[in-house]
Amino acid sequence: MVLAQGILITTRATASSTTEDEQVTVWSIDSPPCSTNPTGLMTWDFDHLQRAFATRTDTLGLGDCAAYLRTGDRTTQRPIFLPTPTTLEKYQRQVNYTSQQWQSMDAVLPEIAPFPELHPQGRLGNVPILMWHDILPEKEVFFDITPEELEAQFQRIQELDATPVSIAAVVAHLRTGAPLPEKPVVLTFDDGYGGHYKYVYPLLKKYNFPATFSIYTKKMELVGGRTSVTWEQLEKMARDPLVTIVSHGINHPPDLRELEDEPLYIEIFESKRILEERLGIPINYFTYPVGHSDERVEALVAEAGYHAALSMDNVDEKFASASPDLLKIARFGQSRLEEVIPEAWGGQPLPRRDGGFNFTTEIRKSEHEAEGIGLILITGGRPETIHANTRYQLPEMLEGTDVVAAVDGAFFSLKYLDSNVLIGPALSRQGRAFAPGNPSENPLLNGRPLVLISPTAVHFIPFDADLHNTAAGIKAELPKVTDAFVGAAWLVKDSKPRTYEEFGDLFDFDAARHRAFWGINQAGQPVVGVTKDLVGSVELGEMLASLGFRDAVMLDSGGSTSLAYLGESLVGYTPRPVPHAVVLYAAEGIVKPGVTEQEDEDSDVVAN
């Protein structure tokens, strides 16, 4: 029995001992690290394991201990999740909300995308898969590295607060969108060199890093040239839960696309059979020699039963989430480690079943594109508004505040250039107290979204001029409300994009314009954003729904469209100055992006 911080998973095989018939027992662990007093929670079938646990491996697997899956009576234990940062502070930061979701089962279990497609949520993360080749004391070609250089890279991975994860965890993430740790990275080593056992494997154990090794079986028989891992060494590595063995073919041909059907079949099918028989483990992944594949090659990889395949492209390296599908997962050369790890991200939290909110996560900027329309989203933190005393460019409005991100907010009167009068009633904790709307204008706003923000919730309700033009009327809807304003229209409501008919007679709702918006995603996080291109409201709503918005409201758009992050404007033009903004503050206990922990501590000292 293997215990872990978070969960323990074991299986009870039926008489047939087939994977589909296995039952999975899930255990709760009292406290970190590795309590020895588990309590059984539930038993689920293998399908639920794939959907709920194998997909969430690294989200719940935090600390020095690893959990494993035991299949039937097999003695070989395979990793379900692998270690991440071990300090209590980091543990609490990363699992606080996730563990609450887990215990209450508030999270909606992710659906698996049809093979070999990537789940839309899986495309939102940024998972770099790094690729090494030979490790030896004296380099012979430019992509060789020394053991000392490799250890320095491992140390750098720790310094960058990244979490190495298994290829199985990443494939599950890509198929379901279930989140990985905040900054995941996959380590892969190709070709089965002797240095992989002599130098890499000891370092993996020293740093507790999981890694993937791509093996072509003829390598062990070659005489002369570069060294090779032996079968005995490979068998030892394969028994270690830190190691995943991947087929790299039999002969490592320079281009699988040029092979006739029979030798191609042998490279793909026979290599899998040989490795499985010699190592006594399933071989679920394939790595294309030199990264070359086409539809015929990929079809055979799928037919052979591989779950995914790793590729490479020296000209066009990508994050795994940008891969065409699971049969051609992109990688980066190890020389780009410093460049890509800071951009790594494990993806959005799982959607909430209870419709609740999560204002405790780190703030992150991301960019997306669909059908030629670009979007910038900033997600996480705690939402409020600022109702300024006049009109400003957003970076000016944010000067002297702790705001991390802001988008222009409510519509305002254009009659006077310095007026801060908004269209409709407004309340702002930062700025003005409650300001009623113009009684003659308010009835024209009926039915538009009234945005109500409290420290723990956001409500979007239809505005009613007779009920909502007083502070008492606002508080009757949300007693602890701190901020309120009237938006232009719903773009997404209850996870569904609004239709042409639902926009009614809203002026120019489907004209192609730059658009500003904000809302709550299905994980309960606040999101602010703008379009980089001109787009109509209906099309924008469809895009936001596909990106996981639960509710989204259009803000003042066109010439007012503006977005700021860390004090800098993110739009490529000079927008109209505005008096109102929806803003995101860093959640309590989380360091503001772009600020070191020491700087954050120093600011606390000054504040106190």
For the stretch 506-523, pLDDT in tens is: 888 989 999 999 999 999
With contact defined as beta carbons under 8 Å apart, do 386 and 583 qualify? yes
Give the chain's mean pLDDT.
Answer: 82
Query: Which backbone phi and psi does 127 adopt, to 5 degrees?
Result: -110, 110
pLDDT at 607: 30
Structure-token match 């505040």, residue found: 401
Q: What is the pTM of this model?
A: 0.72
Reduced DSSP (H G I as helix, E B as strand, rest coil) percent helix, strand, coil of the chain, to 5: 30, 25, 45
Q: Do 372 and 514 have their domain in common? A: yes
423 with 527, same domain: the answer is: yes
Mean pLDDT of 301-317: 97
Instruction: Look at residues 392, 440, 395, 437 and name the one whose alpha carbon lies nearest to residue 418.
Output: 392
Distance, in Å, from the CA atom of 42 to the CA atom of 81, rounded to the nearest integer, reads 19
Q: What is the pLDDT of residues 163-173, one digit of tens each?
A: 999 999 999 99
Query: Residue 122: which domain range?
Result: 112-353
Residue 597, domain member (yes or no):
no
* Residue range 35-64: mean pLDDT, rounded: 32
Q: For residue 542, is pLDDT > 50?
A: yes
Please give the Cα distance from 81 to 56 (Å, whole number): 8
Rg (the chain; Cα; Å)? 27
pLDDT score, position 432 = 72
Q: What is the CATH number of the domain that holds 235?
A: 3.20.20.370
Mean pLDDT value across residues 463-490: 97
Q: How many domains does the chain have?
A: 3
Same domain, 235 and 347: yes
Label residue 109 by pLDDT band (50, 70, 90).
low
HSE (CB half, 13 Å, CA atoms) of 272? Answer: 20
Q: Which CA distances in Å does 260 have to 263, 265, 270?
A: 6, 9, 15
* pLDDT for 322 beyond 90: yes
User: Is 10's pLDDT higher than 70?
Assistant: no
Residue appearing with tokens 């002969």:
251
Task: Check: CB of residue 188 under 8 Å from CB of residue 212.
Answer: yes
Both 422 and 565 in one domain: the answer is yes
* 3-state class (DSSP) for residue 576: coil
Are 291 and 152 members of one domain?
Answer: yes
Residues 142 and 3 occupy one common structural domain: no
Pick the last residue of a domain from 323, 353, 383.
353
- Omega within 30 of 0 (cis) for the link into 443: no
Distance CA 193, CA 431 (A): 64
Residues 100 and 122 in one domain: no
State the pLDDT confidence band at 590, using cuts at 50, 70 and 90: low
577/436 same-domain check: yes
> Same structural domain for residues 476 and 566?
yes
Query: What tokens were used for 154?
Result: 């491992």
For residue 237, pLDDT over 50 is answered with yes
16, part of any domain: yes
| Residue 495 backbone zone (phi > 0: left; psi -120 to 50: alpha; other: beta) | left
Residue at which a domain ends, from 107, 137, 154: 107
- Could you report the per-residue pLDDT of 195-214, keeping only the tens digit for each? 999 999 999 999 999 999 99
Q: Residue 175 corresponds to which amino acid?
A: R
Q: Please give the Cα distance from 311 to 333 (Å, whole number).
A: 11
Statement: residue 19 has pLDDT above 50: no
Find the range with the poorest average confidence among 181-190, 233-242, 343-352.
Answer: 343-352
How far is residue 242's CA from residue 203's CA, in Å, rounded to a whole number?
11
- pLDDT at residue 72 tops 80: no
Report residue 108's pLDDT band, with 50, 70 and 90 as the boundaries: low
Q: Band of the pLDDT at 431, cuts 50, 70, 90?
A: low
Distance between CA atoms of residues 197 and 203, nearest Å? 10
- Residue 334 covered by a domain: yes
For the record, the structure tokens of 490 come out as: 């719903």
461 assigned to some structural domain: yes
Residue 348 sits in the same domain as residue 275 = yes
602 part of a folded domain: no
Domain boundary residue among 353, 377, 410? Answer: 353
Same domain, 103 and 122: no
Does residue 591 belong to any structural domain of this protein? no
Indicate left, alpha or beta for 343 from its phi (over 0: left) and psi (-120 to 50: alpha). alpha
The reply to whether 444 and 472 lie within a common domain is yes
- The verdict on residue 590 lying in a domain is no
pLDDT at 105 over 60: no
Answer whether residue 262 is part of any domain: yes
